[in-house]
Structure 1
Amino acid sequence: MKSLSRRLLLAAVVTALPVLPFSAQAQNYPDKPVKLVVGFAAGGPTDILARIFATAFGKALGTSVIVDNKGGGGGAIGAQAVARSDPDGYTLMFAGDGQLALLPQMMTKAGYETKRDFVPIGSVAGQSNVLIANKASGITDLPSLLAQAKANPGRISFGSAGNGTPTHLVAALFENATGVKLLHVPYRGAGPAMADLLGGQTNLMFVGTPVALQQASRPQMAVIAITGNKRSPSLPQVPTFAEAGIRGMGDETAVWWAVVAPAQVPQAIQAKLVQAMKTAMADPELRAAIAAQGADVLDKDGATVANWIARDHARWAGLIKSKKITTE
C-alpha cells in the first residue's frame, strides 16, 4: 500500500513538473543573453538597424542582446530558425515587411507562416523607397525616365536585390502605376546590384532612404523620386511620385521593421518584452541613431504590427499574382 502511495505521489510530482519551469522562467526572465536573429548578411540596412536597436533593447531588458545573422532565402532561413526555436523569449527576430508579409506568398516552400509562427512585439523603424538612376542613361528626372521608357519598352533596366525583394516589387508597382515596361535584372543582394548601377550596366534602382543619401553626392547619380505622401526631411529636394501625378506610391509602399517572437512565448515573457521595447524606443540615443540612418522612428505596438502584416499581405497579393512574381 505504501509502495502504491509512493508511486502515485511520484506520478503527481512528475505531472506537475512542466508547469513549474514556465512560471519560474517568466519570473526570472531574462537571466541570460537574448539572441536577435537577422535574416540577412551583416552590413545591410536590416542588420545595421538591428544592431542599433539591440544596444538600447539590451539596456532596457537588463541583459545582452546579441545579433545573429542567418542569411539566405531572402530572409526565409532566419525566419525558419526563429519559428522553430524554443518559445522561451531568448530567440527573437528583427524582421522587415518583406519577411513577414510578402515572402511567404512568393515562395512555394517558405518554411513558415507569419500568423501561425510569430507574435509581434512592436515596430522599430520605417523608410521610404527612392528611385535613383545613372545619369549616363540620359535619365535625370521622372519626365526623362517616362519619355525614354515609353519610347523604348523593355529597354530601360532596373537592378534589384533579387526576385521578390522589395527593390523588385516597388519597381513592378511603378510599372503598373505608369504603364511603362522596364527590364528587370535581379542580383544576389543589393550590393552587387548597386555596383552594376554605378558602373552603368543597369539604368535604375529602387533603394532605401539611407542608401539614397549616400548616392546623392555622387556626380554620376540622379535621385529621381521618393515614395510617400510627403517629401522626406532627409532628402527635401527630392519630389514624391505623387507630385508627378503617379498614384499608388505613397506611404503604403514604405518599408518597415519590427521585432517578433515565436508564437508560443508565454504571456508573462511577452509582457516583459513589450515593456522593454517601450523603454528602448523612448531612448533619445536610439531615436537619434535611427534618424541618422535616414530612417523614421516607428514605435507602434504588436497589435498594430499584426494589422500591418495583414494589410501588406493583401495589398501586394494582386501585384504578385498578376506579375507572377516568385523568389525562385
Structure 2
Amino acid sequence: MPGKPTFADFGPWAQKNIGFDPTAKSLSSWISTNTRTFLASIEDHIFYSRLQSLVEAHKANATHQQINIVTIKPELNVKSVDSIISKLYRINVVENGNFPNPKGERWVGANDIFKELKDIIRTTIVCRHIDEPAKITALIESICKELELPCHVNAQAKEHGYYAYHVYVVFNFEFTNMAWESFRENVYFEIQITTEMQYMLYALTHVFYEAEREKLDLIQDTWKWDYKSAKFSASYLSHSLHLLEGLLLRLYEDVATNANQPAVLGTEDHALSKSIDNEATDNNAMPEPLGEQ
C-alpha cells in the first residue's frame, strides 16, 4: 500500500490522482477571482446587513444583559489561496482514513472548492458569557428563516480545547469555472460565535495548530502527557476557561436571584429563633456569650 504524500509532494500527487496542479498560477488566479466575487456577494446581500444590525442591537455595556456582544462589527475574512490548498491536502490525505482511496465517493478537487469548503468567507462574533453563543445562534437562525436561507448549526467542543458555535448560511451565487464560464453554486458563509476569553486564547494559540495540521507522523494522544508543550497548556487552559465561564455565569444568576428575594428566615430558622426567644423569656435573661460560660 503506498504511503501518504507529504504536503511538499502534494502537487505531483494531485496532478496524477485528482487532475489538477495545486501550484499552478492559473489555479491561484481562478480561486482569487471567485473569492472576490463571493466576498462582494455577501457584502451586498441583505443578510449581512441584518447581521450587522443584530450585533449593533446587542452591544455590551456596563450592565449585565441577556446578550452582551463585544464585537464592534462582524468583519468578513477571506480564506487565502494557500489555506485553501492546505485544506484540500488535509481532506484528501491527512484526514483520509481510507487512503489510498478517496475519503468519500471521489477525491475533492479544484472544481469542488466552493461547494465543499465551508469557511472560505467567514466572520466571528464575540460575546461575554457562556450562554450567549446559543442565544445569538437562535437569532441568526430566525433571520435565515425570515429570508428563506438554509442554515446549519454546529456546536463545537473539540478535544484540543476549542469552544464555539458555528452557523453555516447557504447562498446560491454565480461563479466562473476553470474554463471561465459562468455557473451557479450553493456555497457556505461561516459565522463563528464564541466568548471573549475563548477568543483571546484562540488568537494566541492558533499558530500552534496551524503548524501541525499538515504533519503526517503525529502520534495522536502523546501531547496530553507533554505538560511542557504549548499544545498541552493551550488545550487544557481552554477546557479550564470553559468551566470557569460556567461557574461565573452561575454566580451571576445566583446574585440576581438573591437580589430579587426579600431577606427572610426560612421555616426551620424561624422555628429555631422562636425557641431561643422562649427559652430566654423563661430564664428572664438572654443566653450568655460562649466565652463567659
TM-score (normalizing by structure 2): 0.25
Could you say which structure has the larger radius of gyration? 2
TM-score (normalizing by structure 1): 0.23
